[in-house]
Structure 1
């Protein structure tokens, strides 16, 4: 990386807010939409017009598809939750215990559904639970006006939804389909850079790991953006099945590049001079090809040309592999097998990039419906149990908060309860709720401080709505800029949204310092208490990850070893399951990093086991090597199958499996190969696959022993 790039990277990391013209436009647009929503709520004399401006920021999305998706689910969730709250209130307005019980059960049921679903479908269900909580418990304090409370709250939210959606869709719209194409092109460029980095032995492990983390975050973002396209016009829709396949191909490239990097870094130079001489031209040409693709911002403008480049590079790698195979019996076996593995994995890397191109051409650019069969995704039982636990935890939190409110008869107990409910949003499908919840709370407190200062120092000096509108747009601009920056979205939403909601923008300006302080102190205390509760009652994806590990190690890899299914289908299944878990991983934590590395390594292991299984059936393979591979694959499959049930003996079983691989490698290395014979080349291929599998015991030991689950 050049000095200029390093300086630019440090500058961006020290000031992470996006100040590009698109984001500035987004921040101004959403600020004006918030002011417009406030004006409409004023005109209709809504009870709490500030809810309209808060809703605008809660819906802040830079793309039309994202805004439409969130708006649709928010409308359904709000209306459904309001009716549920009114129904509960009608049935139990005079009975506190059944009232709170029904509200808590509805809330927990919605959070259970939110944990089972993804993206804005999840959001809609959770919002339904939160709205029912607000309507039922706020209405219980004044049952005679409960309908008015529900109607006003729903109306204010719908006004905010309408203004936010109109601003995003009608004013300089940015379509998710367009952004999807741009992001896919950027991902391909970044993947090419990632692949080129993997081919360079001088890259440090820390730099390579940081680059992989960035790639994972980009893939998660791409997968979320993919879901928004279904809410746009038909000509902008992408084929969801093929785009899911693109996510799989992205992960495949990550898996291949990671294993390739580790093998190149450990390549034994001693005695490998002739091998290196044959490898280097193809490797340098491949790295140069990837560099050109990474540096070309218009690579997607001519996919055929890029694929031709990749095909030519693969042909060069294939020719290099043939030259290495021709050296069998004339150079030491180990460096020859290592070199062949490197060239073959480099070819897999290029193949993965080509398949990304195929997915792009078949999906985002397609206009005719495809007949691709949609895969059936079924959640493991552990994921369903986790969703149940998330729902029960939400029920418990609401019940405990309500009991405290009732026992203390706290005037501002409802405000604390709303803080608890809001913080529970950030606990669904999050192994570390505090990672997002704590910054959200901090920025909410900052918003309250700013709004109070503005309410005391500025609002009394403002006359007329026009002056108020101008002041609000300027005051909300920093929060809007943060909301448009992906890594700062939620802090920005809370900053701008709560400034607008707490600024004293009611129909009549009546500042009440004591009420402002007490109500917001209760709200923040509710958030803080909920964070502590979530830390004491954790619900994590550990069980789901364990189920993933058991299925991959105990079933899928043995199937690859036995040749039950083609190895690429097994690899795809592993990557599909991993894609579901990616949003849960915090790659700044060693256990999560180990899990990702091990999962990617397991996916690549399936590829090599399948190759060995097909290789043993090759008629040109020497009989003694075929017998060796047949015995090895059967024994290795059985050893893998026994690992999930091994318990405390797992380390011993794993050592036996490692010894089995090393023994097979040693036997192959000790064979006398006859130069020029097909069997010699095939034996070296077998040695290359066994080398890759052997590496996994050193590199992915934490994953294989599942020791990362206990950390």
Structure 2
């Protein structure tokens, strides 16, 4: 950490953030001291806890903290007086409350999760110190609410009035970057020679950004920028960008297959691709050009509509995907232009509204349960030792066990962060001793106190402006504030300070140990869990038991891909797993379409489709126990058989609706050969087909 700190080169905005935060904390402390609040340091510490360089993030975090504090305080007021005579039961109930709230917090992948986490450990902070005097719990709850609210008001007022930095421009810059990334990805996808792994990395990076911005957009309702109140529209835009990724993947795949079949792309295909590329890269949105491109694709589709060979079927599928790409990109540009102008067309917004909701994001129930269980166990262990030993500082240790189990729970492996927090807490105790024994005895008046605090707090506040040093800066500031416990009159009880510091270290230590045994999951296992979740959804789609909208399904699968990407640095062996995910999105979409189309096709084809869907579902379910299981060779044979039946249909509309998902599915099952579409030759092929290479992509 020391090397990271020394290598920092803070910008002027970082120093401004630190000075603003310090000013807000001093304002909160001054008001709390003036009104003789019970714990003025709570107000000061709250300023640093909610501090953020972006005013919208700070405001939303502040509101969620108030709501969580109210819920936790109410829980403590209800539980402590009624259960104080049964300390074991009280400890159990408070521990379950902390764990249950943390479980709900981990399921909510938006900034609102802060409400549940705060509700959990606030009950511990208010409740445990009042075990010896349950009559004080209501006064303690009121005091915590007052002081936290004061800190939040001070932080919010200063952030929004003194050189505010809004989140709207940050999101706008990110979306403009998306538009450039999509244009670049389209150009690369239109070239069959583009390296597949480079394409996959670009798609995965965009998918990862989508998950991050889904949460950032929620903060827009808490600031007055040009994008205030545009959260729903921005989330709909993110859904459209997510929808573009599998379409571009499918186009690239069909172009690769077509070039393999024919040696080169048809001239009209090259012309259409060049036109689409120019349209996507254009600085303005030309709607007349959109209709012209659709007409060119229709002319191309009419030329190949009667094709019966594999190259012709690939082109039928390609035409469909090109239409979809233009439509999705049109919605993308329409939404973005409408958001900037403050007028988003209702029909476009409605089309993407469902897939923009939180239900389209992955929820990790296993990680949430482990986090909650960790908080329960850690809190109970400390409470048990406190009850048996009569430890005077046991309440502080129990509080810190609950807090330590909660605040780092969003990390895959919180242990290293908790270890760091323990080290920083120990350093903070040393700083407190210097202030308490050397500096504060000579302080006479609030002005001198501010001058004594300013160098340390402003310097450490700068570290909070950078992600790499945020944890160190926050720990060194909040722990110094809380342990120093500044009040209206100076008092220095070294034994009390050391007792509180040791108890804090013990609480965090227990939280770290329990986390290491219960919460931590190896990165490889975490990635496999995400892949298993995808397989579970694909099996559910094939069986018809997962009833969600098509774009919600695609968004959820892509969200998991975005979660896999940042973890590959710690699990390089799983890179092949990431490469499988995008084809699985295409498989899921094809199965979704086939399940819907089967209701309107010939009964014989419907029966064959049902067999195919069941076998694919069984394959993905079997892979839960055998990660690299190769599919049953009959699956490829069944697809080829149905493809031949669909290819011979007289009804042109029904034929095309069947061929489009079947061709896509056939390409995902095997990229190394083409199906035999002749009826008689197909009967021989179905008896001699080898196991498909589905294992590498499915």
TM-score strictly above 0.5: yes
SS at match of 1:108: helix
Give yes or no for contact 2:166–2:225 (8 Å, CA) kept in 1: no
> Paired residue for 2:669?
694
Q: Distance in 2 between matches of 1:579 and 1:35?
A: 45
Equivalent position to 1:656, from 618, 622, 633: 633
**How far is 1:179 from its partner?**
4.8
Determine the C-alpha separation between the residues in 2 that align with 1:659 and 1:472: 72
Q: Does 1:138 align with 2:129?
A: yes
The question of 1:119 aligning with 2:93 is answered no
Deviation at 1:223, TM superposition (A): 0.8
CA distance in 1, matches of 2:594, 2:8: 50
Among 553, 578, 582, which residue is 2:538 paired with?
Answer: 553
Residues 1:638 and 2:629 aligned together: no
- Report the Cα offset of residue 121 of structure 1: 3.3
C-alpha separation in 2, matches of 1:693 and 1:533 = 44
Where 2:631 maps in the other structure, the secondary structure is helix
Which of 387, 396, 402 is the equivalent residue of 1:415?
396
Cα RMSD, aligned residues only: 5.3
- Equivalent residue in structure 1 for 2:23, among 29, 32, 50: 32
Q: Please, which of 504, 507, 517 is the counterpart of residue 526 of structure 1? A: 507
From 224, 243, 246, the counterpart of 1:255? 246
Structure-1 residue corresponding to 2:145: 154
- Alpha-carbon distance between aligned partners in 2 of 1:618 and 1:105, rounded to the nearest angstrom: 52
Deviation track 1:298-347 (CA, whole Å, cap 9, x = no partner) reads x5xx5x34x66676667667777777x49968xxx666766776676565
- Relative distance call for 1:218 and 1:641 in structure 2 (3 A) is closer
SS at match of 1:166: helix
2:337 is equivalent to residue 352 of structure 1: no
**Residue 137 of structure 1, CA deviation:** 1.2
How do residues 140-539 of structure 1 correspond to structure 2 at under 5 angstroms?
Answer: 140-143=131-134, 146=137, 148-176=139-167, 179-199=170-190, 207-231=198-222, 238=229, 242-260=233-251, 272-275=262-265, 279-284=269-274, 286-287=276-277, 290=280, 292=281, 304-305=285-286, 325=304, 345=321, 348-360=324-336, 366=342, 372=350, 375=354, 390-426=371-407, 428=409, 432-434=413-415, 437=418, 465-466=446-447, 468-469=449-450, 472-477=453-458, 480-485=461-466, 492-502=473-483, 505-508=486-489, 516-538=497-519
1:601 aligns with 2:580: no
Do the aligned residues in 1 keep the contact of 2:643 with 2:659 (CA within 8 Å)?
no
Aligned residue for 1:275, secondary structure, equals coil
Q: How far apart are 1:252 and its partner, in Å?
A: 1.6
* Matched residue, 1:60: 51
Q: Rate the CA distance shift 1:500–1:390 in 2: closer, same or farther, 3 A.
A: closer
- Paired residues of 1:57 and 1:497 also in contact (CA < 8 A): yes
Among 544, 550, 553, which residue is 1:574 paired with? 553
Structure-2-length-normalised TM-score: 0.75
1:251 shift after superposition: 1.8
* Of 441-450 and 185-194, the range deviating more from structure 2: 441-450
Please give the alpha-carbon distance, in whole angstroms, between the structure 2 residues aligned to 1:37 and 1:649: 58
Q: Distance in 2 between matches of 1:312 and 1:396?
A: 65
Q: Which moved more, 1:193-202 or 1:87-96?
A: 193-202
Structure 1 pair 577–29 and aligned structure 2 pair: CA distance change class (3 A)? same
> Residues of 1 paired with 2:459 and 2:60: CA distance?
25
The 1:356/1:146 distance shift into structure 2, 3 A limit, reads same
Segments of 5+ residues of structure 2 without an aligned counterpart are 673-691
Report the alpha carbon displacement of residue 572 of structure 1 after superposing the two structures with TM: 0.6
The answer on whether the counterparts of 1:328 and 1:684 sit within 8 Å (CA) in structure 2 is: no
The alpha carbon displacement at 1:14 in A equals 12
Distance in structure 2 (CA, Å) of the matches to 1:19 and 1:483: 11
Separation (CA, whole Å) in 2 of partners of 1:274 and 1:194: 21
Please, which runs of 5 or more residues in structure 1 have no aligned partner?
1-12, 294-298, 620-625, 705-711
Q: Distance in 1 between matches of 2:662 and 2:253?
A: 17
Secondary structure of 1:119's match? coil
Deviation at 1:454, TM superposition (A): 6.8
Distance 1:38 1:424 in 2: 28
2:197·2:579 contact (CA, 8 Å) conserved in 1? no
Check whether the contact 1:437–1:531 (CA below 8 A) recurs between aligned residues. yes
Alpha-carbon contact 1:18-1:482 (below 8 Å) kept:
no
1:165 Cα shift?
Answer: 1.5
**Distance (whole Å) between structure 1 residues aligned to residue 390 and residue 529 of structure 2:** 41
Aligned residue in 2 for 1:7: none
Say if 1:583 and 1:138 are closer, same or farther in 2 by CA, change over 3 A: farther
Displacement after TM superposition at 1:279 (Å): 4.7
Mapped partners of 2:241, 2:253: distance in 1:
19
The alpha carbon displacement at 1:506 in A equals 4.7
- Deviating more after overlay: 345-354 vs 608-617: 608-617
Q: 1:271 to 1:607 in 2, by over 3 A?
A: closer
| Cα deviation, residue 139, structure 1 | 1.8
Within 5 Å, give how 1:13-28 maps onto structure 2.
Answer: 24-28=15-19
In 2, are the aligned partners of 1:85 and 1:136 still within 8 Å (CA)? yes
Provide, for residues 538-594 of structure 1, a one-character-per-residue CA deviation record: whole Å limited to 9, x for no partner: 38889985884465322324669xxx99xxx85313134447767865632459877
Question: Match of 1:77?
Answer: 68
The CA deviation at 1:163 is 0.9
Aligned-pair CA distance for 1:133: 0.9
The question of whether the paired residues in 2 share the 8 Å contact of 1:337 and 1:691 is answered with: no
Query: TM-score, normalized by length of structure 1?
Result: 0.73
Q: 8 Å contact 1:476–1:500 — kept in the other structure?
A: no
Contact (CA 8 Å) 2:268, 2:300: kept in 1 or not? Answer: yes
